[in-house]
Amino acid sequence: MDSVFERLYKEYHQDVFQFLFYMVKNRQQAEDLSQEVYIRVLRSYHRFQGKSSEKTWLFAIARNVAIDHFRKEKGWKQRLLDRFDLTEQQVKDNKQPLPEEVAILNENVQAMYHCLDKCTLDQKTVIIMRFLQQFSIKETAQMLKWTESKVKTTQHRALKVLQKQMAEISDKGGIHVGKERVE
Amino acid sequence: MLGKKEWNETQLEEIIRQLPKIEDKQNPQIIFQNISSRLEKKKRFTWIIPTFASALALLLFFILVPGMFTTKDLSTEGNHSENDSQPELFEENPAVVEDGSEETKPTVDSDQEKRQETSEPIVSSFSTEKLSAIYEQDLQKYDWITFGIPDVQAQNVVPVTVLVGKDDSVTWFEKYKQLAEKLPQSAWGLSEYFPLEGKVSYNDATEVLEIDLPSHTVYAQGSAGYTSFIHSLLETFSSDEKKVQKVVFSTEGQKGFNGHGDYIEELPMEKAKNRGYFLFTPVDSDKTFLVPSDVTFENIESAIQEMKKEISTHMLTPTVPKDMTIERIKTDADAVYIHFSKGQQNGMDQLAAIHFVEAVLLTAKDFGYGAVKFETDDFEEIGPFNLKHPIKVPLAANKAFVNP
């Protein structure tokens, strides 16, 4: 195996995979996308000069791969009618079944798993990076090429969305949102 | 548990942290096999062409340099100024800029090595007079403003780029406003769309374009009217010469705008991507335009294959001639390499050939590439394009001039 691949795999693979999984919420797609990340990374690895950390660079690529994935899912016109900037759009409601890892957890966590899709793509990215991947504000800002204050604002807005959605779910006495039922 | 109605931020963060770790159970060997087969193909290609090009460049260098001391006039069109144009392309590519050390490398060897890695395109300084798109050369004399003008059926939004004499003292917004009043849109076979309805203003500091619409705006009438409006705004204001982060809407001074069944306050200027370019000839018009497709494509290969077909619903005709065989299309980080042969046809209509080259260049630009190398045994040049060298992608489509 290529030594660069081996090292990157060892150090970052599960983290990148988890990030992609929570972005798309589909194991098969996350597998495909993680391969795409390696292809982009290895193809341009010789240009990586260490100006940013390797982890930052890798996650920046992973995020682009995820965005491209969502872009490809939609036709141009659909995107137009749908609200325009993909990264500021709500992630489409996920019809995938709950992964077993989530299904065994308590209702609050299950509800949260569902509510993530009520965030925009940017908000969801920030939530995953900050609280699941445990990246600092600074690292998140570098990965997204944003200012730290934009990360903070987006995080704050995302939590507001989640707060509202979680409250709605409790109002309805469980994870029934609209006509969907996530189980 | 869920009986609770109010969670504070810390509690929410805590719940998020409880989301489970999701592991990839695939074998890394298998992942590596999958990616290496895809990588191999690319690698082989990106090394062969640049190596060959570098060898050829060296050879040319030795042939031309002695000549330069004796011959004055070498500046014909074919002799592009490599030294002038190459660094510019480097500047445009952030990935390459990162290795800034490149220019100071002392030996010829290492310099060449770098070229192979980045497969640096060579840019020709061809004449753009007979071409439809706007190229870098045009900027020596002109400024440009792109307008996304819907056709009369509101099916396509045609990007038309107006060239005006260079004048740095006038802002792009001023130029936009002046030109919007003068566009001979119906003479071009398009709808009379500009100037836009309502009041348009621009804030330099925030780079926000504000549009205040009347309450019964035409842009809210029907889904076609609304879609065209949004599409036209994106095509017009996400164009590179303008600096607009987003468009903010209001209706008679009140925040927001009710489009066709959709309320919208602002529209971020995200550039459309991954579209293919087709030919569009408006009804009752002899003017033709290169127009981006409504649909996007997964990669440039599939876009170019589709450009052989027509999109009859939109009156778009192919830009890749029927007889032409696209043998293969390869890409690296900066450039597209398209191998083609003209097929059975003896001659090839010059205009159709130029449309083909320009449509491929514009498509490559839409996919984010910087240059295209056309590889064929059938032609050495098409119109002003010398196919020996990669051609840098244009800045914008469909050049037009407007009477003052």
CB count within 10 Å of CB B377 equals 9
Task: Tell whether the model's pLDDT for residue A46 goes beyond 60.
Answer: yes
- Which residues on chain A are in Cβ contact (under 8 Å) with B28? 1, 6, 9, 13
- B283 by DSSP, 3-state: which? coil
B45-78 burial code (b ≥16 CB/10 A, e <16) = bbeebbeebbeebeeeeeeeeeeeeeeeeeeeee
Contact criterion met (CB < 8 Å) for B1 and A108: yes
Closest CA to B61 of B43, B42, B82, B40: B82
Contact criterion met (CB < 8 Å) for A106 and B1: yes
| Distance in Å, alpha carbon of A54 to nearest chain B alpha carbon | 14
- B5 by DSSP, 3-state: which? coil
Contact criterion met (CB < 8 Å) for A14 and B9: no
Closest CA to A63 of A33, A83, A84: A33
- Which residues on chain A are in Cβ contact (under 8 Å) with B275? 76
Contact criterion met (CB < 8 Å) for A169 and B2: yes
Contact A39, B43 (CB under 8 A): no
Geometric angle at alpha carbon B338, from B335 and B341, rounded to 5°? 160
CA distance B94 to B255: 38
| Distance in Å, alpha carbon of B272 to nearest chain A alpha carbon | 8
Contact B237, B247 (CB under 8 A): yes
Of the candidates A6, A18, A109, the beta carbon closest to that of B15 is on: A109
- Which residues on chain B are in Cβ contact (under 8 Å) with A46? 117
- Which residues on chain B are in Cβ contact (under 8 Å) with A73? none
Residues in chain A: 183
- Which residues on chain B are in Cβ contact (under 8 Å) with A3? none
CA distance A26 to A117: 13
Beta carbons within 8 Å of B194's beta carbon, 6+ residues apart: B147, B149, B180, B181, B183, B185
Residue of B10, B24, B293 to mutate, interface with A, max A Cβ within 10 Å = B24
Contact B332, B46 (CB under 8 A): yes
pLDDT digit string, tens, across residues B361-376: 999 999 999 999 999 8
CB count within 10 Å of CB B278 equals 27
Question: β-strands B199-203, B208-213: how paired?
Answer: antiparallel
CA distance B311 to A114: 40
Region B116-121 average pLDDT: 39
Closest-approach residue (CA) in chain A for B267: A84
Q: Note the pLDDT of residue B106.
A: 31
Instruction: Provide, for chain A, the percentages of residues in helix, strand and coil under a 3-state DSSP scheme, each rounded to the nearest 5.
Output: 70, 5, 25
- B248 by DSSP, 3-state: which? strand
Q: Which two tokens stand for residue A55?
A: 């982890």
pLDDT digit string, tens, across residues B334-351: 899 999 988 765 667 788
Q: Note the pLDDT of residue A74.
A: 61
Closest-approach residue (CA) in chain B for A8: B28
- Most confident listed range (A11-20, B30-39, B42-51, B79-88): A11-20
Closest-approach residue (CA) in chain B for A25: B22
Contact B135, B128 (CB under 8 A): yes
**Any idea of the CA torsion for B131, B137, B140, B142, to the nearest 10 degrees?**
30
Of the candidates A27, A76, A99, the beta carbon closest to that of B294 is on: A76
Contact criterion met (CB < 8 Å) for B35 and A80: no
Q: For residue B197, how many C-alpha atoms fall within 13 Å in the half-sphere facing its CB?
A: 16
Contact B184, B161 (CB under 8 A): no
Least confident of A68-82, A94-108, B281-295: A68-82
Beta carbons within 8 Å of B301's beta carbon, 6+ residues apart: B329
Closest CA to A65 of A88, A44, A36: A36
Give me the residues paired with residue B331 across strands. Answer: B336
- Which residues on chain A are in Cβ contact (under 8 Å) with B273? 71
Question: Higher model confidence: residue A93 or residue B81?
Answer: A93
CB count within 10 Å of CB B95 equals 13
Geometric angle at alpha carbon B68, from B63 and B74, rounded to 5°? 95
Of the candidates A18, A76, A170, the beta carbon closest to that of B21 is on: A18
CB count within 10 Å of CB B144 equals 22
CA distance B355 to B364: 14
Contact criterion met (CB < 8 Å) for B32 and A44: no
If pLDDT is split at 50, 70 and 90, which confidence band does A40 have? confident
Contact criterion met (CB < 8 Å) for B31 and A38: yes
Of the candidates A14, A77, A106, the beta carbon closest to that of B23 is on: A14
Closest-approach residue (CA) in chain A for B31: A35
Q: Note the pLDDT of residue B351.
A: 86
pLDDT digit string, tens, across residues A90-140: 555 555 667 777 777 788 888 999 899 899 989 999 999 999 999 999 999
| Distance in Å, alpha carbon of A114 to nearest chain B alpha carbon | 11
Closest CA to B330 of B92, B118, B49, B52: B49
Rg (CA), chain B: 25
Tell me the pLDDT of chain B averaged across its residues. Answer: 79
- Which residues on chain B are in Cβ contact (under 8 Å) with A43? 39, 42, 332-333
Geometric angle at alpha carbon B174, from B89 and B292, rounded to 5°? 50
- Most confident listed range (A45-59, B4-18, B358-372): B358-372
